[in-house]
Structure 1
Amino acid sequence: MLKKILLPLLPLLLLSCYSVNAEVVVVVHPTNNSSFDQSEISKLFLGKAKSFSDGNQAVPLNQEEASTARQEFDANVLSKSGSQLKAYWSKLIFTGKGSPPKEVTNDAEVIDLVGKNPSMIGYINASSLTDSVKSVGKF
């Protein structure tokens, strides 16, 4: 009896066992010709650098904490958990040495803002990439 109930659900159960490891793409304005590697991107998002390699101001955009893109970015690019980042930013805010990146709600908002502003850098799910922005790294 249990087999008859579980057998049709097996494909769903198997799919739910896999974590949703979506690739994230770091994006900038199409005219941005700066060089980027994981270390440089990390410095921008951790407030350790304020400009791109070409000297122009950099304004990083974070997605909401609960988003898949944010979780993947934090783990794969910044090598930190959400709680580690909260503690990191709390310390910088308390000491007056920095503030976290502006937070936006989703991929579409990142694409819209980055596509209109050469100073911005953000990240989106790889499946959301459009010609409005330029990919500078996939993680």
Structure 2
Amino acid sequence: MLSRILIITILMMAAGMALPVSAAIAVIVNPAYTGTVSNDDLTRLYTGRSGDLNAVNLAESSPIRAQFDEKGVGRSSSQLKSHWAKLVFTGKGTPPAELATEAAVIEHVATNPNAIGYVDAASVTDEVKVVLTLN
């Protein structure tokens, strides 16, 4: 069994196919923001239990989103979707806005002093400030 996995891995690498890897995720805010952000803060922000900052999400189809949900919020994407469905149904909350691309998240955060978002760490520009990196 192990040899079969090794052979498949070698064939994928030879064909130029990338194996799925976890990217470092940068949690970003507007450069004017002077506070700090912890993992607990992210959980509160992205589950609607804190309104200190206006959180934005990447689209559900983004692989970075699923990684962020696990690493940053500590829940699977399906758990968060269910959580928000309950809050919306009972009128107790509205989920973070979804933006289609990392460039859109960076632009939104750069132009909104109270916004927080996340992107692949390799995508960060000097328009935003990184307050937390999730590996």
- TM tier, smaller: 0.7 to 0.9
2:116 to 112, 118, 121: 121
**1:7-86 paired onto structure 2 within 5 Å:** 10-12=11-13, 18-51=19-52, 58-86=53-81
Offset of residue 18 of structure 1: 3.4
Distance 1:14 1:31, change over 3 A: same
Gaps of 5+ in 1: 1-5, 52-57
Larger C-alpha radius of gyration, 1 or 2?
A: 1
TM-score by length of 2: 0.86
TM-score by length of 1: 0.84
Q: Any idea what SS the aligned residue of 2:73 has?
A: coil
Q: Please, what is the CA RMSD of the aligned residues? A: 2.1
Give the number of equivalent residue pairs.
127
One-letter identity of the residue aligned with 1:41: L
Q: Flag as ranges the 4+ runs of structure 1 deviating above 3 A.
A: 13-18
Structure-1 separation of matches of 2:18 and 2:112: 40
Structure-2 separation of matches of 1:13 and 1:81: 33
